[in-house]
Amino acid sequence: MDTEQDYEAELPLLGWIAGLLRWLEELIVLVSGPLLMAGLGIGLVALLSDGALLLTAPWLLYAWAISQTVGVDGQLVGAWYRVSVAIARRRWGAALAFVTLGVLLAYVAYVAALVFATQQTYGLTTAQSLARLGMNSTSWLWQRSGVSVLLVCLSGYLRYRAPRKQVLSLEERKRAIEEQIELDALKARQRTQQAQGAIGVLRG
């Protein structure tokens, strides 16, 4: 039995907007690797210089924070979109892998949002907020840093690849030409019948 969804018309502009959002998600995945690498580089240089880098260029701290935010949290929606694509294509192994990644990113985003809300509500520092929530700040740093490094690796694996142009074999091209000839013949027959019907109406 046909469902109501089978008769649902395409909503105006939503397909275009969905395509634009999909393009932005792919862009985030593409740039997240370099962004996270830049953030890791800033952290390593600051560590080796005993914090002197951030003292001379404090804006790098904001650059590091932005790189972590875009690189980690920006991939959450894209990860779950890949889950839906993998399920639609019945690629269960890929779906399970992306579900694991999506849950991990969702956990990191949830904890970050919870800590931020606690900070703003009670006027606490990050360490105080984590302690109030019963979380260990050291383990939280390990988790977020681990996710950052994992996403650097995945950004290379998931990098966008332009789809290959389909090359048809000789038999497939012959079949396509035959189908086109048959379709043209049916259209010509339809036009003839329509013309005969119009002539019959005029004569009647």
27-46 pLDDT tens trace: 877 777 788 788 888 888 88
**pTM exceeds 0.75, yes or no:** no
Q: Average pLDDT for residues 168-176, to the nearest whole number?
A: 76
Is residue 32 exposed (0-12), middle (13-18) or buried (19+ Cβ within 10 Å)? buried
Residues 130-149, buried b or exposed e (16+ Cβ, 10 A)?
beeeeeeeeebeebeeebbe
Sorting pLDDT into bands at 50, 70 and 90, what band is 56? confident
Query: In this structure, what token pair is assigned to residue 24?
Result: 């932005």
Chain-centroid distance, C-alpha 77: 6
Residue 162 Ramachandran class (φ > 0 left, ψ -120 to 50 alpha, else beta): beta
Q: What pLDDT does residue 168 have?
A: 64
More confident residue, 163 or 41: 41
- Write down the pLDDT at residue 193: 81
Q: What are phi and psi of 13, to 5 degrees?
A: 70, -15
Rounded distance, CA 191 to CA 113, Å? 64
Whole-number mean pLDDT of the chain? 80
The answer to whether residue 81 scores a pLDDT higher than 60 is yes
pLDDT at residue 63 tops 60:
yes
Using a pLDDT cut of 90, give the percent of the chain over it.
Answer: 5
Which H or E run contains 114?
Answer: helix 92-122
Tell whether the model's pLDDT for residue 7 goes beyond 80: no
Mean pLDDT (whole number) for 43-71? 82
The pLDDT assigned to 92 comes to: 92
Which residue is listed with tokens 């109406």? 201
> Residue 60: what pLDDT?
85
